[in-house]
Structure 1
Amino acid sequence: MPSYVVVGGSRGIGLALAQQLATSAENTVFVTVRNKSGSTHLNELVAKSTLSNIHVLEADVTDHRALKAAAADVAKVTGGSLDVLIHGAARTEMTNMLRGMTDYEDDDKLDAEFLDSAMNAFLPLLRRGSAKKIVIIGGEGGTSEFVWKMRVSGMAAFGTTKAAEHLVALKYAVLLEPEGFTVVGICPGFVDTSSTAVEKPDDTAMSAIAGFITRLQAISTNLKSFTPEEAAKRFLNLVDSISTKDNGSFIEYIEYKKES
Structure 2
Amino acid sequence: MPSYAIIGGSRGIGLEFVRQLALNEENTVFVTVRNKDKSTHLRATVAQLPHKNVRILQADVVDKQAIKNAATELGRLSGGGLDILIYNAARLEFDNLLRGPGDYDNDEELDEEFIQSFKVNVLGPIHIVNNFLPLLRKGSAKKIIILGSEGGERSFVQHVHISGLGAYGVTKAAEHMVATKYAVALENEGFTVVSVSPGFVDVSGTNSEPLSEGDASKFNDLVVQHFAAFPNAGTLLTPEQAVKRLLLDINNIGPAESGTFRPYPEFDTNKR
TM-score range, shorter chain: over 0.9
TM-score (norm 2): 0.90
Aligned counterparts of 2:23 and 2:44: Cα–Cα separation in 1: 15
Shift of 1:122: 0.4
Cα deviation, residue 112, structure 1:
3.0
Measure the CA separation in 2 of the matches of 1:207 and 1:238.
33
Pick from 167, 170, 174 the counterpart of residue 164 of structure 1: 174
Structure 1 counterpart of 2:236, one-letter code: S
Say if 1:83 and 1:198 are closer, same or farther in 2 by CA, change over 3 A.
same
Q: What is the distance in 2 between the residues matched to 1:13 and 1:99?
A: 23
Q: Which residue, out of 247, 250, 258, partners 1:236?
A: 247
**Alignment equivalent of 1:122, drawn from 132, 141, 144:** 132
Contact kept in structure 2, 1:222 and 1:255, CA below 8 Å: no
Q: How does 1:1-260 map to 2 (within 5 A)?
A: 1-106=1-106, 107=108, 108-110=111-113, 111-116=115-120, 117=123, 118=126, 119=128, 120-220=130-230, 221-253=232-264, 254-256=267-269
TM-score norm. by structure 1 comes to 0.94
Q: AA paired with 1:109?
A: E
- Aligned residue type for 2:237: F
In the TM superposition, residue 210 of structure 1 has moved relative to its aligned partner by 2.4
Deviations 1:85-136 (A, max 9, x none): 0001001122222012233344253333332322211000000100000000
State whether residues 86 and 136 of structure 1, in contact with CA within 8 Å, keep that contact through their aligned partners in structure 2: yes
Query: CA separation in 1, counterparts of 2:5 and 2:194?
Result: 15
CA separation in 1, counterparts of 2:204 and 2:151? 18
Q: Distance in 2 between matches of 1:257 and 1:124?
A: 36
* Cα gap change, 1:182 to 1:257, in 2 (>3 Å): closer
For these two proteins, the number of residue pairs brought into alignment is 259
Q: Which amino acid is 1:88 matched to?
A: N
CA contact (8 A) 1:12 1:196 kept: yes
Counterpart secondary structure, 2:38: coil
CA contact (8 A) 1:9 1:31 kept: yes
- Quick one: distance in 2 between partners of 1:98 and 1:68? 32
Aligned residues of 1:64 and 1:121 also touching (Cα < 8 A): no
Q: Deviations over 1:203-258 (max 9, x none)?
A: 22222222222222222132431111111111111110101111111110113497
Amino acid paired to 1:224: T
CA distance in 1, matches of 2:165, 2:56: 30
CA distance in 2, matches of 1:258, 1:42: 37
Superposed CA deviations along residues 65-89 of structure 1, whole A, max 9, x for unmatched, are 2111111111112110000000010
State the SS of the aligned residue for 1:188. Answer: coil
* Aligned partner of residue 115 in structure 1, secondary structure: helix
Aligned partners of 1:11 and 1:197 also within 8 Å = yes
Relative to total residues, which structure has the larger helix share, 1 or 2? 2
RMSD: 1.6
Identical-residue share of aligned pairs (%) = 49
SS of the equivalent of 1:102 reads coil
Partner SS for 1:185: strand
Whether contact under 8 Å (2:19, 2:49) holds in the other structure is no
Structure 2: gaps of 5 or more residues: none
Distance in 2, Cα, partners of 1:125 & 1:26: 19
Pair 1:152–1:26, CA change in 2 (3 A): same
Mapped contact 2:180–2:259 kept (Cα < 8 A): yes
Runs (5+) with no aligned partner, structure 1: none
Q: Structure 1 residues 257 and 248, CA, compared in 2 at 3 Å: closer, same or farther?
A: closer
Report how far residue 20 of structure 1 moved: 0.4
Q: Secondary structure at the match of 1:225?
A: coil
- How far the C-alpha of 1:178 sits from its partner, in A, is 0.3
